[in-house]
Amino acid sequence: MLKYKYRAQDGVNQKTPLCSPFVRENRGGNEKVFSKKKFLPGNTITSFASVALLLLFTVFIGSCGYSSKSLLRSNVRSIYIPIFDNNTFRRGYEFDLTKAVRDQILLRTRLDIVDKDEADSILFGKITGVDENVLIEDREDNIVESRVTVTIEIRWVDKRTGRTIVERRNIKRPTEFIVRRNETLTSSGNEAFVKVAQSIVDAMEEDW
């Protein structure tokens, strides 16, 4: 047997089972049944909370850098990368840098590296500076720690139209090396080439 509670409000007798999810009202002999849910303030709070969570999720996705836009144009699918020019006295660096750039493009983009005749685009590059700065010397003036900075410039061209897609000058990335760890200018230069190659791909994506 259901137990009821009675309350009077505005001259209306209300008869409600304690365990019922509904409210019964008797107005002038006409009994009406209403759902308790519509009277619960918690439902409004839940709705606002759901909307807030949805907005928060949307902002979070945006902050993570998700995008439906490709980093590289869909109409350029291949690239030819000739050996970079080298305007410095550090011979051989152009080969190491060109290899590092090719590796980064294969690793981070969907572009195919092909021969010149088959390519949609060409990436030209030039080493314009390789600077070494001494950071620390010992008491006998021997170099303990030094820094090498490789500076380059690039120009990425659409071979079919001749239009320049990206052109950047003075791309540089410094790298430190410690002589006592048997690190050399050559090994540090190779690390700098990887960093510069990463900067080149960044520039290709940003300006695209």
User: pLDDT by residue for the chain (208 residues), tens digit each?
Assistant: 545 554 555 554 555 555 555 555 555 555 555 555 554 555 555 566 666 666 665 554 444 433 333 445 558 899 999 999 999 988 888 998 999 999 999 999 999 999 999 999 999 999 999 887 777 877 877 767 777 788 999 999 999 999 999 999 988 877 765 555 555 556 555 677 888 899 999 988 875 5
Q: What is the pLDDT of residue 131?
A: 83
Cα-to-chain-centroid distance, residue 50: 28
Q: Which of 171, 187, 174, 193 is nearest to 135 (CA)?
A: 174
> Is there a contact between 169 and 200 (Cβ–Cβ < 8 Å)?
no
Q: What is the pLDDT of residue 161?
A: 92
The CATH number for 78-206, chosen from 3.40.1160.10, 3.30.160.150, 3.40.50.2300, 3.40.50.300, is: 3.30.160.150
Q: What is the pLDDT of residue 69?
A: 37
d(CA 204, CA 166): 6
203 in helix, strand or coil? Answer: helix
The alpha-helical segments, DSSP class H, found in 64-184 are: 93-108
Q: What is the pLDDT of residue 83?
A: 97
Where are the domains positioned within the chain? 4-63, 78-206
Sort residue 141 into left (φ over 0), alpha (ψ -120 to 50) or beta.
left
User: The pTM is what?
Assistant: 0.59
Q: Which of 118, 126, 115, 120 is nearest to 72 (CA)?
A: 120
Q: Which of 176, 165, 174, 178 is nearest to 199 (CA)?
A: 174
Q: What is the pLDDT of residue 126?
A: 95
